Chains A and B, each alone.
Chain A
Amino acid sequence: MRDLFRFLHRIRSTLMFIGLMLVSLVLLYNGNAHHRAQAISSSNSVVGTIFSWRKEITDYASLKEVNRKLAEENARWRNRHISTYTPVEGLFARIHDSIFQQEYRVVAAKVVNSTWHKPKNFLTLNKGSRAGIRADMGVIGTNGIVGIVRETTPSFASVISVLSPEIKTSVQLRRTGHFGLLYWDTNDPATASVIDIAKHARVAVGDTVETRGGDGTFPSGITVGVVESVEDQPGNNYHSIIVHLTEDMTSTGFVYAVDDLQRMERDSVQKAHAQ
């Protein structure tokens, strides 16, 4: 017995090494599933604060670009606003109608940190649960989708970027309406693949890919990208499509977290249906 204790004492540093290694491997492999491990993320308030200091400084370098983007976006909305349409004939009058109900609410936030050259990428937003951002909400940018909220603290949120193989967003071709999944396996921040579009669908280079919606994450019809190449491998029933992402993930400045106001209702109906 004493020999055993002496032996254990002698290899105590190796034992400690094995213990610490096990802890980190557990964290590593449960990192995406386990909620405790998810808390090790950049939405932590100390980390978020340090990143936002950095952003305060680097923001000045990109002000011009951000202003241009915001102005462009304003122009786009203005084009869709009712006041830019003049009635051609006096046949229709606008009345207060109750046909439409607001389905989505957006929260504007600033990206304080982002990566795009790792195998799995994240963004940190400067707003969190206090601004109404919750886990699983979709995040869109000026020109396209950005990612999905993973974890929030009162004033920060960490977002899994679309440049991560664990996110598969349901998308469709705007022209034909065929469904597929957006999946990032290209290792290039400017492109992604669309999988699961059957070969009989006619896909052309230059087709627009948009979100399908209905999953409670993204509204439908948000532009995602433009088809860059379509390949058909023999023996595969699906196209291999590469799309060029319309949102430049390397320069995302302001983004919108999308809150689906009907999500709970829809989820409960779907759950009732599944049982």
Chain B
Amino acid sequence: MIGTVLANILRFVVLILIQVLVLDHLDVANGFMVPYLYVLFLLMLPIELPAWAQLSIGALTGITMDFFSSTPGMHMSACVLLMFTRIHLLRLLSPREGYEFGTRPTLPTMGFAWYITYAGILIVVHHLWLFIVELHRFDGFFLTFFRALLSAVFTFALCLLAQFLTSSADRERR
């Protein structure tokens, strides 16, 4: 239990730091694509967390990102929306007999088909909201849509990469 909490806190710190120190400065095509890898922290939270905790953690993560990017409310609203979607999506995607206690929503444990549905939907919801809110002007709507989707693909690829890297490290430790 304590181990899970510590692992999640560590993941939070590491992912936020990677996000604000490296990824936010990654200038892919003049900022056309921006990966938001920090959502991986929200994706990897334990399944059995109560709804209120999921929503609060989402809000907290979002506001932390807002501090770094000077955008009050932007990441916060996107993360809260993501967590709300996640609560319902986990219910929809649950196996007939429910999740086993302690199942982690990761690629190695859940399989590729499940994971691409789960992470894909959540990342797209988060990115679409974020990119559309960030752009107050309506003229570039379709371009923004396209940017959000491309960035979502980028984020998803990074999520997969991060999990492959860390899971192989786990195996070596064992």
Tell me the A residues contacting B by CB distance below 8 Å.
12-14, 16-17, 20-21, 23-31, 37-38, 40-42, 44, 46-47, 50-51, 54, 115-120, 122, 158, 165, 187-189
Contact = CB atoms under 8 A, between A and B. Distances in A.
Q: Give chain B's interface secondary structure class.
A: helix
Given A13-B87, A24-B76, A40 B52 contact: no
B52 A13 contact: yes
B52 A31 contact: no
Contacts of B84: 13-14, 17
A47 B68 contact: yes
Interface residues of B, number: 39
B73 interface: yes
Contacts of A50: 17, 20-21, 68
Q: Give chain A's interface secondary structure class.
A: helix
Given A115-B24, A119-B136, A17 B80 contact: yes
Interface string B55-98: 11011001100111111111011001101100100000000000
B108 interface: no
Nearest to B83: A17
A117 B67 contact: no
Contacts, number: 102
Closest 5 CB pairs of A and B: A117-B31, A27-B73, A28-B73, A13-B51, A24-B77
Contact of B81 (A21, A38, A116, A187): A21
Interface string B15-27: 0010011001001
Given A42-B68, A119-B136, A12 B77 contact: no
A54 B69 contact: no
B63 A117 contact: no
A158 to B, nearest CB: 6
A50 B133 CA distance: 26
A119 B135 contact: yes
5 contacts: A13-B52, A20-B55, A37-B73, A47-B68, A120-B71
A122 B72 CA distance: 13
Nearest to A29: B73
Interface of B: 17, 20-21, 24, 27, 30-32, 34, 51-52, 55-56, 58-59, 62-63, 66-74, 76-77, 80-81, 83-84, 87, 133-137, 140
Contacts of B59: 20, 23-24
B67 A41 contact: yes
B67 A47 contact: yes
B76 to A, nearest CB: 4
Contact of A27 (B17, B69, B72, B137): B72
A189 B63 CA distance: 27
B61 to A, nearest CB: 12
B105 to A, nearest CB: 18
A40 B87 contact: no
A37 B76 CA distance: 13
A74 to B, nearest CB: 29
A15 B55 CA distance: 11
B126 to A, nearest CB: 13
Centre residue among A14, A24, A30 by max chain B CB count within 10 A? A24
A12 B52 contact: yes
B134 A118 contact: yes
Contacts of B140: 187
A154 B39 CA distance: 32
Contact of B55 (A13, A30, A41, A122): A13
Nearest to B74: A28
